[in-house]
Amino acid sequence: MKKSPAPILVVGACLIVQVCVGIIYIWSVFKAPAMAFYGWAEGSTNLVASFMLFSFCAGNFAGGAAADSKGPKKVCFVGILLFGSGLLLSRFIPVGSSIILFYLTYSVLGGFGSGVSYGAMLTCIQRWLPHRRGFATGIGAGAFGLSTVVFSPVADALIKGIGFDSALAALAVVFLVLGLLSCSVIRLPGEDYLASLPKATGKAAALRRESIPFSKAVRTLPFWLLFLNIFLFNGTWNMLNPLIKGLGIQRGLGEAAAVMAVSLTGLANTAGRVLISTYSDRLGRINTLYLVSAATAVCALLLSFVSGWSYLVVVLLTAFAFGGPAAVNPAATTDFFGPKHMGANYGVIMMALGISSIVFNSISNALYAATGEYKLTFLLGAATAVANIVNCFIISRKLKSISNA
């Protein structure tokens, strides 16, 4: 029997990939330079992030499902190639072109490749840390969020130094090199390693012994309740994300502080993904979702009127709360349906994030066009968070029935 490599080597490589493909959350840094470079309107550039997020979710399903059967290394390799190619091709779109071309390269191709890699890596990290599933998804999703911290100031400096198009090309090359090198050491653990692990403890330790495939999971109510949870909870963040820099300037922050806000949301997001998801191993997944949904509702209400540094603080709190479910939901999916088919099951549930982004950003654009402000946008965000508290109550009843079975 071939001995498993050191877990820190494989998990570390997975985390590097996550940092590389996580730049889908820094579009607010790219948005203004893209508008100036191409002459595109604000409403259409807001949808760049939404289409990329939807494509990311589709890629997450494809990558997770493929990793279940083909293994994570090959899947990640393909994902990195698609992601880097999407960014690189975006650099060659001529000035004056329709934004649809940018949607196809940056949003669709780049977002899909990012999702393929993300889905494969999240599944791989969970397989290496099955005894600490909340922590595993926390560090995997956290590394993805950390990309915003690392690359927001880098992207801003590159855009100012070499221009928007060349900055995209430079980042694409960096991601391709780092991502492909990391793929070379990624693999699944062997039986020798798995046999040496301690058993999970805490409220989240009682899991299904059998694993339910997607074809059966999709016909159950818990599957669609988890889908609705992601759709509702992420409404606030999906509407806020493309606005962070521009709205920050409107609310009294200087440009440097507004760029810093984008970067710091990555740090807050990462902290939320790691801390909240790790705590969910003890507190329980649904109790955790109650807390972050309530916190998001309060933050959304505050975002409708706060300004200056108060705006920055509330944005960071929103990012922290958003980060938790990004890691808790994959673990909750595994709690319901088992680990073997987690990639495919969560991949489809994750599609709710992309649908949420398109739906709520379209509504936000319409509300802004009608009122000239984003107050109603954030009131809507608060309403969706409150609605998700009710949804989480129903999920908790279903999870208890599984734990007691």
Digit-coded pLDDT (tens) for 152-208: 888 889 999 999 889 989 999 999 999 999 988 888 887 777 777 766 554 444 444
Percent of the chain with pLDDT over 90: 34
pLDDT reported for residue 68: 74
Name the CATH topology of 7-190+214-403: Growth Hormone; Chain: A; (1.20.1250)
Percent of the chain with pLDDT over 70: 93
Cα–Cα distance for residue pair 277/288, rounded to 1 Å:
8
**pLDDT tens per residue, range 112-132:** 999 999 888 888 888 888 777
Average pLDDT over the chain, rounded to an integer: 85
CA 128-132-135 angle, to 5 degrees, is 95
**pLDDT tens per residue, range 59-73:** 888 887 788 778 888
Which has more pLDDT, 6 or 310?
Answer: 310
Helix (H) or strand (E) holding 240: helix 235-240
Which has more pLDDT, 358 or 209?
Answer: 358
pLDDT at 373 over 80: yes
Q: Give 107's DSSP letter.
A: I
Residues 6+ apart with CB under 8 A from 12: none
Distances (CA, A) of 73 to 25, 45, 69, 127, 314: 24, 34, 11, 13, 39
Q: What is the DSSP string of 280-315?
A: HHHH-HHHHHHHHHHHHHHHHHHHTT--HHHHHHHH
**pLDDT tens per residue, range 15-36:** 999 998 988 777 878 888 989 8
pLDDT reported for residue 298: 96
52, 24 Cβ separation under 8 angstroms: yes
